[in-house]
Amino acid sequence: MTAPLRLGIAGLGTVGVGVVKIVRSHKALLTARTGREIVITAVGARDQGKDRGVNLNGYAWESDPVALARRDDIDVFVELMGGSDGPALEATRAALDTGKDVVTANKAMLALHGQALAEQAEDAGRAIRFEAAVAGGIPVIKALTEGLAGNEITRVMGVMNGTCNYILTRMESAGLPYDAVFQEASDLGYLEADPTLDVGGIDAGHKLALLSAIAFGTRPDFDGVDLEGIQRIAIDDIRQAADMGFRIKLLGVARRTGRGLEQRMQPCLVPADSPLGHLEGCTNMVVFEGDAVEQIVLRGPGAGQGPTASAVMGDICDLARGIRVPTFGRPAHTLEAAPAALSGLPAPYYLRMSLMDKPGALAKIAAILGNSGISIDRMRQYGHSEATAPVLIVTHNTTRAALDEAIAAMTGTDVMASLPVALRIEQV
């Protein structure tokens, strides 16, 4: 029989412990499926004495992840520490430098340093696998690099942060404001230590940058992702979107255009009766569109011990079978440095604003939109106070640049009671 595949696991949080549990509980199954035994030889984390609910006494311990990565008795370095730089990056480089394959769940590290790491891995004849870095237990990387390899991908789209989806759907179902649901999510442990990573769209933006690189043969470019979080979404937006047959999602969209690579992670309205519109709670959904397959929808848990550890193990099993593909689906030196398309293709937009309750206010706003080449599809005025009147406008297709021009002109008038909220309506 082929020699065992030996793992060194750096990081023993929720996911690391989940990997240990799977290796132990499915030992015979893993051997049957891969043709070789998968064993853990060494582990490491900051605190050796912490009770993690699993016995680690049979494994060598390394407090220094770089030392763990360099050990002679491991074949695969499993990096589950997190962090875009520092120990995670140093240890990953050390593993590749000493002839180890790498399996990681570290989206931030790959979004920022993926090109250099991919080149290092391929120069060394090694592999970097990162299924767990995007959409938890959903096998989106394998689907894109392998199952859809015969397609020219035309669009990547999805809800890739379960915490944001929980907040938005909970606001709708319970009729609660953003601040109340944000605190609820924090109390439930759904938010990162720095919650801006979630609600600011950064976490999901990292994931979109990785999918874009694979889908379009480009270098990972997180700096080219147009980021907008959900912090400004009000319960009124949720209700009014529903009134028009839409739901609000933190939606990632990437596509190649004549101007470059468009990558957006921002709140959008989607049809309530679409697959994305039906998505509830912490679930993730990724949609791929290709010239041959048309549209593929993948849905499942985007986080948690079991789903994420399952994704890690899928990568480990492929390495055990001898399956190797380039990090981003094609040789790293062939990946293009695509310019960022900072303005998306034209689309309808939702505008919510509060106007001073004075004669001619609405006509002035309509005139400003017309001067910017924006036509109105629908307009509604809701119940108003003595001083202000809430107004909702849905435009016909327009560009974000034209909309920004109009909003800037609006804020220079004497009729605005608050800054407008502008949300793209995405066709799905």
Mind giving me the DSSP string for 188-210?
TT-S-SSTHHHHTSHHHHHHHHH
Q: Cβ neighbours of residue 353 under 8 Å, at least 6 residues apart?
A: 365, 390, 391, 393, 410, 416, 417, 418, 419, 420, 421
Catalytic residue among 207, 249, 358, 364: 207
* DSSP secondary structure letter of residue 35: S
Between CA 154 and CA 163 the distance in angstroms is 27
Between CA 157 and CA 344 the distance in angstroms is 14
Max distance between CA atoms of the chain, in angstroms, equals: 85
Q: State how far Cα 233 lies from the chain centre.
A: 19
Q: Give the Cβ contact number of residue 180 at 10 Å.
A: 15
Active site residue 358: no
Q: Rg of the chain over CA atoms, in angstroms? A: 24
CA dihedral (212, 217, 220, 221) positive or negative: negative
CA distances for 239 relative to 165, 215, 312, angstroms: 16, 35, 39
Angle between helix axes 162-174 and 178-187 (nearest 10 degrees) is: 130
Smallest CA-to-CA distance from 94 within 120, 66, 131 is with 66
Mind telling me the catalytic residues? 207
